[in-house]
With several copies, the nearest count.
Chain A
Amino acid sequence: MTATSKTIQQPKDFGFDADALALKDVAEKFFQDNLPTQKLHALVAHDSNLEHGTVSRWDADLWQQIVDLGWLMVSVPERVGGMGMSAVAVATLVEQAGRAALPGPLVPTLNVSYILGACGTDNADAALSLICEGSTFSYAACNKSGSWEHDTSDLVIEGGKLTGEVHFVQDAQKVDYFLVNAKLVNDNQGVDTTLVAVPANAEGLSIMPNAIIDLTRDQARLQFDQTPIENQQIVSAPGKALEALRLATPALLVTISADICGAAEWQLQTTAEYARTRKQFDRNIGFFQAVKHPLADFMIAIDLARSHLYNAACAIDFEPEKAEQFARMAKAAASDAAAFGSKKSVQLHGGIGFTWECFVHIYMKRQLHSQTLLGDASHQRAKLAELILSQS
Chain B
Amino acid sequence: MSKNAKRDTPEQEEFRRYCRDWLASNVPAAPNFKPLKNGAEVATQQHLEYYSVWQKSAYDAGLVGCDYPVEYGGGGRTHCQSIANQEMLRAKTPILPGAIGLGMAAPTIFFHGSESLKQRLLPKLLSGEELWCQGFSEPGAGSDLASVQTFAERRGDKWVINGHKVWTSTAQFATWMILLARTDKSDKYNGLTYFVVPIKSELGKSVTVRPLIKITGETGFNEELFDDLEIDDAFRLDDVGKGWQVAMTTLAHERGAGPLTTPMSGGQGLAEDKDSKPKSERSEFPLIKLAQHCVRNGEPAIDDPVIRDKVMNMLIRQVGIKQNRRLRRVPGLADSQRLTLQDKLLGTEYLQDSAALALEIEGPAGTLSNFDSAAPDNGMWPLAYLSSFGGTIAAGTSEIQRNILGERILGLDKSK
Whether B282 contacts A392 by the Cβ 8 Å rule is: yes
Whether B412 contacts A276 by the Cβ 8 Å rule is: yes
| Smallest CB separation, B341 vs chain A (Å) | 9
Whether A280 contacts B214 by the Cβ 8 Å rule is: no
| Smallest CB separation, A227 vs chain B (Å) | 22
Task: Tell which of B27-35, B39-47, B251-259, B312-320 binds the partner.
Answer: B312-320
Whether B215 contacts A354 by the Cβ 8 Å rule is: yes
Contacts of B374 in A (CB 8 A): 210, 221
Name the residue of chain A whose CB is nearest to the CB of B413.
Answer: A287
Name the residue of chain A whose CB is nearest to the CB of B362.
Answer: A372
- Tell me whether A26 is interfacial, beta carbon within 8 Å: no
Contacts of A174 in B (CB 8 A): none
Whether B330 contacts A13 by the Cβ 8 Å rule is: yes
**Distance, CA A8 to CA B273, complexed state (A):** 12
Contacts of B212 in A (CB 8 A): 355
Contacts of B142 in A (CB 8 A): 280, 350-351
B interface residues, Cβ below 8 angstroms from A: 1-5, 137, 139-140, 142-144, 147, 166-167, 188, 212-217, 275-277, 280-282, 288, 294-298, 302, 304-309, 311-313, 315-317, 319-321, 323-324, 326-327, 329-330, 332-334, 338-339, 342, 345-346, 352, 356, 359-360, 363-372, 374-375, 379, 382, 385-386, 389-390, 392-394, 397-399, 401-403, 405-407, 409-416
| Smallest CB separation, A352 vs chain B (Å) | 7
Contact A347 to B324, CB < 8 A, known contacts A356-B213, A382-B308: no
Contact A388 to B298, CB < 8 A, known contacts A303-B342, A372-B364: no
Q: Which of B297, B365, B382, B412 contacts A275 (CB 8 A)?
A: B412
| Chain A residues touching B, range | 35 or more
Whether A16 contacts B330 by the Cβ 8 Å rule is: yes
Whether A351 contacts B326 by the Cβ 8 Å rule is: no
Q: Which of A48, A305, A351, A375 contacts B137 (CB 8 A)?
A: A351
Contacts of B333 in A (CB 8 A): 13-14, 16, 21, 24, 92, 310
Q: Which of B320, B345, B390, B410 contacts A333 (CB 8 A)?
A: B320
Name the residue of chain A whose CB is nearest to the CB of B299.
Answer: A145
Name the residue of chain A whose CB is nearest to the CB of B285.
Answer: A388
Contacts of B323 in A (CB 8 A): 304, 307-308, 310-311
25 residue pairs from A and B, CB less than 8 Å apart: A10-B277, A13-B2, A13-B4, A13-B329, A16-B4, A21-B332, A145-B363, A146-B295, A148-B364, A210-B374, A213-B369, A272-B411, A276-B412, A280-B142, A281-B143, A289-B403, A295-B410, A303-B324, A304-B321, A339-B356, A347-B397, A351-B394, A368-B382, A376-B363, A382-B309
**Distance, CA A307 to CA B316, complexed state (A):** 11
- Tell me whether A60 is interfacial, beta carbon within 8 Å: no
Contacts of B367 in A (CB 8 A): 168, 210, 212-214, 219, 368-369, 372
Whether B412 contacts A284 by the Cβ 8 Å rule is: yes
Most buried by B among A152, A281, A357: A281
**Distance, CA A212 to CA B365, complexed state (A):** 9
Contacts of B392 in A (CB 8 A): 347
A residues 207-233 touching B (CB-CB < 8 Å): 210-214, 219, 221
Query: Residues 62-83 of chain A: 1 if any B CB is under 8 Å from the residue's CB, otherwise 0?
Result: 0000000000000000000000
Contact A50 to B412, CB < 8 A, known contacts A281-B143, A307-B326, A384-B312: no
Name the residue of chain A whose CB is nearest to the CB of B374.
Answer: A210
CB contacts between A and B, total, < 8 Å:
316
Q: Which of B371, B386, B390 contacts A211 (CB 8 A)?
A: B371
**Distance, CA A8 to CA B416, complexed state (A):** 45
New A-B pairs, 8, CB < 8 Å, besides A286-B406, A368-B385, A381-B312: A12-B2, A12-B326, A13-B5, A15-B2, A221-B374, A358-B215, A382-B305, A389-B288
Whether A147 contacts B298 by the Cβ 8 Å rule is: yes
Whether B410 contacts A272 by the Cβ 8 Å rule is: yes
Whether A391 contacts B280 by the Cβ 8 Å rule is: yes
Whether A50 contacts B217 by the Cβ 8 Å rule is: yes
Whether A308 contacts B316 by the Cβ 8 Å rule is: yes
Whether B338 contacts A299 by the Cβ 8 Å rule is: yes
Contacts of B317 in A (CB 8 A): 304
Contacts of B315 in A (CB 8 A): 329, 384, 388
Whether B213 contacts A350 by the Cβ 8 Å rule is: no
Q: Which 9 A-B pairs have the closest CB atoms?
A: A146-B364, A286-B412, A307-B323, A145-B295, A292-B406, A356-B213, A304-B320, A211-B371, A381-B312
Whether B140 contacts A361 by the Cβ 8 Å rule is: no
**Distance, CA A211 to CA B217, complexed state (A):** 13
- Tell me whether A202 is interfacial, beta carbon within 8 Å: no
Contacts of A24 in B (CB 8 A): 332-333
- Tell me whether A61 is interfacial, beta carbon within 8 Å: no
Whether A149 contacts B297 by the Cβ 8 Å rule is: yes
Name the residue of chain B whose CB is nearest to the CB of A374.
Answer: B364
**Distance, CA A304 to CA B320, complexed state (A):** 5
Name the residue of chain B whose CB is nearest to the CB of A348.
Answer: B399
Whether B413 contacts A296 by the Cβ 8 Å rule is: no
Contacts of B382 in A (CB 8 A): 213, 368
Whether B364 contacts A347 by the Cβ 8 Å rule is: no
Most buried by A among B298, B329, B332: B332
Contacts of A92 in B (CB 8 A): 333
Contacts of A311 in B (CB 8 A): 319, 323, 326
- Tell me whether A187 is interfacial, beta carbon within 8 Å: no
| Smallest CB separation, A1 vs chain B (Å) | 5
